[in-house]
Amino acid sequence: MTYLKKNFFIICLFIYFVAGSFYSLNTGLSFDEYVEQRIWEYNIKLVKHIFLAAELDPMFASYPMKYYGIGFQIISQPIQFILGGIILKFQDIDSFGAYLLAKHFVVFTAFFISGIFVYLIISKIVNNKFFCRTATFLYLTYPYLLGHGLFSPKDIPFLCFWIICTYISINIFSNLTKNGHLKYRDVVLISFLSAFLLSIRVAGVLIFIQYLFTLIIFLHSEKIQFKHFLKSHYKKILSFILLTILFTYLLYPVFWKNPLLFFDAIKMMSYHFNNVCTLTLGKCMFSKNLEPAYIPIWLSVKLPVIILIGLILLPFTEKKIFISKTSNITFGTLLLSSFFIPILLILKKVHLYDELRQILFLIPLIFILGSVSLYIFSKKIFYFLSFVTLFLFVIENVKIYPYQYVWFNTPSRILNLSKNFELEYMGLSGKDLARNISKLNKQESPKPCILVSPPWLVQPFLDSKLYSCFGLWQEIDSNFPRPFWAVQNVRNLKKGKSYKCDSIYESKFNFLFSKEDIITGRLIKCI
């Protein structure tokens, strides 16, 4: 019993990790996963082209996704190679699908690690283990983030390394307040981590704005002039800049021939070539012309009520939080980043789409702010709401799996979500639809043809021998020979056209305290 009491937190984390890993490997494939694999293949071909003079496919010359590095891919690809073979033995899936699915484990591990660093950051602000552990479990079971943590191949790794960079940078400045020394070991570490973050998504340049916030708070807290700081640490600052450039260069094969392409990458990623529509409060908001209210609206419906309450209470609690140099640096950094980075994105009219995907890395920071604020305001209220919330989170994670990433907070559910908001935009319903195709196909003669876009959402879960052909969804608008079956996901459900076809199966779920069915996909038969 003594052992259980001492290690209860660790045991719970272990159980959570095992369960999360299992569920991640049983989640369907998303739109982005094949794209991620193509990015890796492009970079490998580019390396061979540079060092071995191998011919580069002309298609890659104008490849729009070339401005991604290989940092996280270096970690994930070997694991995918090993784990993919194991998955193939236990799941009804083809080899390529198993290879893609294996990345889910790596992504979930990244999300789990982000939870560890959330705990470490919170402990720098509040010296209470029980609170830190409670807040961490709230974070790890938060359906919206956990849902992304089961599969999202880019957003979650980026979030993970952002929170790691946040902790390490805060730690560096906290140590400076204690002993005034800046170790070269720390300089190398933060340089590498910053470059690694950039290699996942070039939006990692925003982390340097956060570092600037941390520096400003440190200088103000220590009453040190910037000139004096620069004079004392200029060698290490210069080392940080040069090492970050070097590591970034190494992790970005596309820059090896022309490092100046880095600026093209920032421009391209800030102003995405696709003008994506995101249904927001009943309005189709296009990424190239977003309204300033876009981010606030999505935060208001995606953040848990307990966090929203904490954020509202911030004006009444901040004086009680800023009581030490460490908490000043930590909480101040989170506060300034969470407030000013979204404002910067709005002012610069950066292209955002798919609700909060591009700023998912800020959610852990906001989560910490709200949790700490509510705890400082009233410990009793925090613990009461947190245990109720934790209970509901666990139930809902089971109830709506694998669509947790679609999650909305309870107040927003009074709205008609299907008509007002973007929902299952990543295509995870493909696995469920494939399983039902297999069931229904037993009654079919002759073998049906399946139209689905993109094919990797469904095809890996089907035995191709049982179907006469596979085509793209877009061919439904042509004179494609009937009969055939077609898979509708959320992307093409929006079209709302009548194709003179019959709906034979719908993939759907509903939230707690809501009777509204959320349709995630549809199987139709065209005869």
Residue 444, pLDDT above cutoff 70 = no
pLDDT of residue 267: 83
Across 310-436, the runs of DSSP E, i.e. the strands, are: none
Burial of 254 (0-12, 13-18, 19+ CB in 10 A): buried
Over residues 188-241, the pLDDT tens digits come to 999 999 999 999 999 999 999 999 999 999 999 889 999 999 998 999 999 999
pLDDT of residue 254: 87
Residue 446, pLDDT above cutoff 80 = no
Q: What is the CA radius of gyration of the chain?
A: 24
Residue 61, pLDDT above cutoff 80 = no
Residue 158, pLDDT above cutoff 70 = yes
Residue 421, pLDDT above cutoff 90 = yes
pLDDT of residue 113: 98
Q: Where are the alpha helices (DSSP H) in 223-252?
A: 226-250
Domain boundaries, the chain: 2-406, 430-526
Over residues 15-25, the pLDDT tens digits come to 999 999 999 99
3-state secondary structure of 252: coil
Over residues 332-388, the pLDDT tens digits come to 999 999 999 999 999 999 999 999 999 999 999 999 999 999 999 999 999 999 999
Residue 498's pLDDT band (cuts 50, 70, 90): low
**Mean pLDDT throughout 241-255?**
94
Over residues 104-147, the pLDDT tens digits come to 999 999 999 999 999 999 999 999 999 999 999 999 999 999 99
pLDDT of residue 497: 62
Residue 59's pLDDT band (cuts 50, 70, 90): low
pLDDT of residue 104: 97
pLDDT of residue 494: 62
C-alpha closest to that of 489 among 416, 412, 526, 434: 434
pLDDT of residue 147: 97
Residue 178, pLDDT above cutoff 90 = no
pLDDT of residue 496: 58
Residue 250, pLDDT above cutoff 70 = yes
Residue 329 contacts residue 173 (beta carbons within 8 Å) = yes
- Across 121-130, 153-162, 205-214, 488-497, least confident range: 488-497
C-alpha closest to that of 371 among 134, 148, 174, 144: 134
pTM more than 0.85 = yes
Q: Which residues, 6 or more positions from 286, have their beta carbon under 8 angstroms from its beta carbon? A: 275, 276, 277, 278
Q: Taking the CB of residue 484, how many other CB atoms lie within 10 A of it? A: 21
Residue 60, pLDDT above cutoff 80 = no
**Mean pLDDT throughout 387-413?**
97
- Across 244-258, 322-336, 442-456, least confident range: 442-456
Residue 153, pLDDT above cutoff 70 = yes
Over residues 77-111, the pLDDT tens digits come to 999 999 999 999 999 999 999 999 999 999 999 99
C-alpha closest to that of 144 among 335, 396, 414, 388: 396
Express as a percent the part of the chain with pLDDT over 90.
Answer: 70
pLDDT of residue 276: 85
Residue 508, pLDDT above cutoff 90 = yes
